[in-house]
A and B are shown apart, each in its own frame.
Chain A
Amino acid sequence: MIKDSVKKALQELFPVPEPVVEEAPPTDAAEGEEAGAKKKAKKEEPRINGVLERDYNACGYHLDVQLDPGELLAAVLILDKADFFIESITGVDWIKEDQLEVVYDFSRFDFDLCRVVIRTRTPRPDPKVPTITKIYTGASWHERETHDFFGIKFEGHPHLVPLLLPEDADFHPLLKDFKP
């Protein structure tokens, strides 16, 4: 199963065995419910970085990874080696926590189904995330779009100019405090 090997490889990025490991015991029908319950419990406190296994039927992906922007490239390299293709990149504005989240979706051209979501958070006043265009060329438009909508700077992107918005746009419409 590709899911287990990828999960193992990704977990190595997080050296300290944090509470995340509790969720590692593998697959059962009950496991999904447990993850769902955990999710609800975690609502109050910010999530700790790590790999979570999710119930595919409930949310539509298998592995949910949260990490610091610094570890992003390492995680994406693991997925690149495991033959994942990039599906999309997007942002979420968590204005209450004063953070912007960048969400990466990866999937595989394969019958061994495994969807991986990578999330990374960056402070809202100065949002910066390294670009992954050097690994996945197709991330370029997705990153430009995210830059348009949220103002997140993808450091090292070769051509970070507005894509969908007008070329002189200086506003970011998907920020929650955006006023047209």
Chain B
Amino acid sequence: MSAPIDIQPGETFTLNVGPQHPATHGVLRVKLEMDGEYIVHAETVLGYIHRMHELMGENRTYPQVLPNLSRLDYLGALGYTHGHVLAVERACGIEVPERAEYIRAITVELNRVASHLFWFGAFVMDLGGFTPLMYAIQDREYILDMLERVTGSRLTYCYYRFGGLYNDIDDEFIPAAKAFIPRMRESLKKYDALVTGNIILQKRLKDIGPLSKDICKRYGATGPVARGSGIDYDVRKNEPYSVYPEFDFDIPVYHECDSFARYKVRMDEMEQSLRIIEQGLEKLPDGPIMPKKKPKLIKPPVGDYYQAVETARGNFGIRIVSDGGKNAYRFKLRSPTYSNMHLFDEACEGMLIMDALALMGSLDLVIPEIDR
């Protein structure tokens, strides 16, 4: 047996969280310089599952890239494919039938609820409560079943096409979605009673992990992270796209800036998504799901096009630089968690390690989406 290490006061040591640590929810590594239980300095190390989707976007034709987008974020894939089809539609000037846009909005919102549910379960599990994950996954399963019926896959959807959809929703989808909404509302009440008021959760989250407005601006943090810091910013409202202006929904904003505020934002967002789904099902127009006039070959005119959408994690942007060919000249993906995670290094300095892990959980990380 070696002699016990004698650490002097003020002396620091290095602690690696990850790349295979359950709290990082994927292959992410954070190199922490610790002074006892306190973090002195943090450095995030990325790239463990970097796949270079941007180069694939240049090597393949536009329709061939469609499946790539859903491999970015396996929890909220539809939001990302939505961004991609909108960008190409903007570049080529393709008109989308109204029914297709409504179905897109409904499925994206269902996917957002599924993503938030999984985050909710995993986040509470990070804090030591295992049971809520089981409830959350059960509810999420309903959504996955519904989406599987229409899209054909459970997680890595490739449902949207340039100009419309791959297939129409069927007779079973609408009743299933209508039945799901009251069920989910009951569940949200249950989660509130089971988790939100829990004193352990509140002690772990309230006033922990403050992220100021300024830090969000400097790092470009968006989505629930920004909205938990009192920034009223949601691409669906600020930069309306698709049929979102037709819906009546609110953007939950909390001004406490702590981890609990981010928790509350996501819990409230699920209710708002349910409202959008409800209205979408009500207003759903009849008609075709693909436009009559659609170019056979997708060849955007020369230019530089940008499209931003609000995914479950924040502002996802896609830039297409076209030289008029079948492939994109440059295909840039701006992923929301990339910016959200970046502020972790600065924000966790001086925190207790367990609080920093709670902060990390409240950022809602999906690593394949950071690494791309």
Contacts and interface: CB of A to CB of B under 8 A. Distances in A.
Nearest to B330: A92
B55 A174 contact: yes
Nearest to B338: A141
A163 interface: yes
Nearest to A169: B47
A42 B239 CA distance: 29
B31 interface: no
A58 interface: yes
Nearest to B50: A164
Interface string B301-320: 01111111000000101010
- Is chain B's binding surface mostly helix, strand, loop or mixed? mixed
A149 B58 CA distance: 13
Contact of B342 (A40, A105, A138): A138
Interface string A77-88: 000000101111
Given A109-B232, A111-B238, A43 B47 contact: no
Interface residues of A, number: 38
B303 A59 contact: yes
Given A105-B317, A163-B47, A117 B306 contact: yes
Given A105-B317, A138-B220, A138-B339, A60 B371 contact: no
Contacts of A149: 54
B239 A140 contact: no
A65 to B, nearest CB: 13
Interface in A133-168: 136-138, 140-141, 149, 162-166
B90 A43 contact: no
Given A105-B317, A115-B306, A162 B330 contact: no
A140 B342 CA distance: 9
Contacts of A162: 47
Contacts of A138: 218-221, 339, 342-343
B91 to A, nearest CB: 8
Contacts of B334: 87-88, 105
Contact of A137 (B237, B303, B346, B372): B346
B21 interface: no
B220 A85 contact: yes
